[in-house]
Chain A
């Protein structure tokens, strides 16, 4: 059979011809063409009956986890800073400046107080407050806060200051920021005293206890290691899919 009739008949079989007259005539008049048409139609039918292959939930979760891990490792790729966070940094900077100016003015008026004392700005960074309990984590340990925490602290402080100025109630950091902060600060402390109600409720359901260690957090999942009673046994990798608070064991 020549190539042309095959193309025509095969296209006729899968319904891709705009004008089927010639193909139909060929199939009706030519036994070989008719056989080819039958073959093509049969194979198309077999293949079309097969549903799209899907990954299992576990396979998808493992894929996402591995990709996120790799995503974070890529050099030169830092998360884009949302505009509102940049604005918060600017506001924090202004707040610090105003605070410093005010303190310096007070120092001048009072004849030079101890410059080593915590300034208002330092105090805001160091002192834990009810509005920013998460910020308190680093402070409680007596360690100097890492740079990212300082920036987030500034944002949180600015946010709190703004809220306070407006007379509004303070609010906990949204989970996205919590996750970002926790990842930078080795997650454990963030979760054991979590500030986000959704995270707390979910973790309560997971029954977080001394045998469960937080391994990683990303925006959608918290990765846990469940330590078996036998110290020789491998820890069990578990993660919680946060939107549904669903526990998935990897093993």
Chain B
């Protein structure tokens, strides 16, 4: 794990165009960013797009980082906002998602997709949650972030995140109960 001060220093170097620093920041956080995006968006292609967009924003806005939070928290906040933007755009232009497929030339693809897959019923139930609840549950229960971290990423008070997580779990259970009944 990268020491927080070191990460802030890396961002400063990114501002001056240091590619090694940008590479380090990207590799430190790309897995978590992708995971968050995938859980929020529920679609692999969209999650990859959102991941790329996140790091482009990180690069462009590195100079605006003020050090009030950890670099990781700042990046994940950008990721969540990027996903929000994608969801809003999708609402305005609904389109059918292409089915997930495994690239035959990529030996690691099948394993990665299988290991990342939620049980279908959980995935469906998560997708049904209101975005605010879904994001809170994803960050807290799927990504294992603390409530203060999740609150910072979502830009809301801790109490609000707590409430969203707790209610989100309850809604999930209700959704799952409905699916089982069906």
Q: CA A74 – CA B18 in complex, angstroms? A: 12
Distance (whole angstroms) from the CB of B89 to the closest CB of chain A: 19
Cross-interface CB contact of A11 among B112, B122, B162, cutoff 8 Å: B162
Is B122 a contact of A47 with CB atoms below 8 Å?
yes
- The total number of A-B Cβ pairs within 8 Å is 132
Which residues 131-181 in B have Cβ within 8 Å of A in the complex?
Answer: 137, 141-144, 147, 162-163, 165-167, 169-170, 172-173, 176
Q: How many residues of B contact A (CB 8 A)?
A: 53
Cβ of A70 < 8 Å from any Cβ of B? yes
Instruction: Collect the chain B residues with CB atoms within 8 Å of residue A112's CB.
Output: none
Is B48 a contact of A55 with CB atoms below 8 Å?
yes
Main secondary structure of the interface of B (DSSP, over half): helix
Instruction: Collect the chain A residues with CB atoms within 8 Å of residue B60's CB.
Output: 74
Cross-interface CB contact of A64 among B26, B47, B147, B162, cutoff 8 Å: B26
Cβ of B85 < 8 Å from any Cβ of A? no
**B100-117 contact mask (Cβ, 8 Å, vs A): 1 or 0:** 000101111100110110
Cβ of A50 < 8 Å from any Cβ of B? yes
Is A58 a contact of B56 with CB atoms below 8 Å?
no
Q: How many residues of A contact B (CB 8 A)?
A: 46
Q: CA A43 – CA B47 in complex, angstroms? A: 24
Residue of B at shortest CB range from A72? B19
Cβ of B119 < 8 Å from any Cβ of A? yes
Which residues 17-51 in B have Cβ within 8 Å of A in the complex?
Answer: 17-20, 22-23, 26, 30-32, 34-35, 38-39, 47-48, 51
Cβ of A242 < 8 Å from any Cβ of B? no
Instruction: Collect the chain B residues with CB atoms within 8 Å of residue A44's CB.
Output: 141, 169
Supposing A3-B163, A60-B30, A64-B26 touch, asked if A10 and B52 sit within 8 A by C-beta, the answer is: no
Is B109 a contact of A58 with CB atoms below 8 Å?
yes
Is B106 a contact of A56 with CB atoms below 8 Å?
yes
Instruction: Collect the chain A residues with CB atoms within 8 Å of residue B147's CB.
Output: 16
Is B169 a contact of A51 with CB atoms below 8 Å?
no
Cβ of A169 < 8 Å from any Cβ of B? no
Cross-interface CB contact of A79 among B17, B34, B39, B107, cutoff 8 Å: B17
Cβ of B59 < 8 Å from any Cβ of A? yes
**A47-73 contact mask (Cβ, 8 Å, vs B): 1 or 0:** 110111111111110111011101100
Distance (whole angstroms) from the CB of A3 to the closest CB of chain B: 7
Instruction: Collect the chain B residues with CB atoms within 8 Å of residue A60's CB.
Output: 30
Is A52 a contact of B109 with CB atoms below 8 Å?
no
Instruction: Collect the chain A residues with CB atoms within 8 Å of residue B90's CB.
Output: none
Instruction: Collect the chain B residues with CB atoms within 8 Å of residue A46's CB.
Output: 119, 122
Is A58 a contact of B105 with CB atoms below 8 Å?
yes
Cross-interface CB contact of A52 among B17, B32, B48, cutoff 8 Å: B32
Q: CA A40 – CA B162 in complex, angstroms? A: 13
Cross-interface CB contact of A54 among B18, B35, B143, cutoff 8 Å: B35
Instruction: Collect the chain A residues with CB atoms within 8 Å of residue B59's CB.
Output: 67, 70-71, 74
Instruction: Collect the chain A residues with CB atoms within 8 Å of residue B170's CB.
Output: 6, 36, 39-40, 43
Q: CA A110 – CA B121 in complex, angstroms? A: 92
Cβ of A219 < 8 Å from any Cβ of B? yes
Supposing A3-B163, A59-B48, A60-B30 touch, asked if A43 and B141 sit within 8 A by C-beta, the answer is: yes
Residue of A at shortest CB range from B37? A53
Instruction: Collect the chain B residues with CB atoms within 8 Å of residue A52's CB.
Output: 31-32, 35, 116, 143
Q: CA A59 – CA B113 in complex, angstroms? A: 12
From A40, A43, A62, name the one whose CB has the most chain B CB atoms within 10 angstroms. A43
Distance (whole angstroms) from the CB of A142 to the closest CB of chain B: 32
Cβ of A177 < 8 Å from any Cβ of B? no
Is B56 a contact of A79 with CB atoms below 8 Å?
no
Interface residues of B (CB under 8 A from A): 13, 16-20, 22-23, 26, 30-32, 34-35, 38-39, 47-48, 51-52, 55-56, 59-60, 103, 105-109, 112-113, 115-116, 118-119, 122, 137, 141-144, 147, 162-163, 165-167, 169-170, 172-173, 176
Given A11-B162, A43-B176, A56-B112, 4 further pairs, Cβ under 8 A:
A40-B169, A47-B141, A48-B141, A60-B30
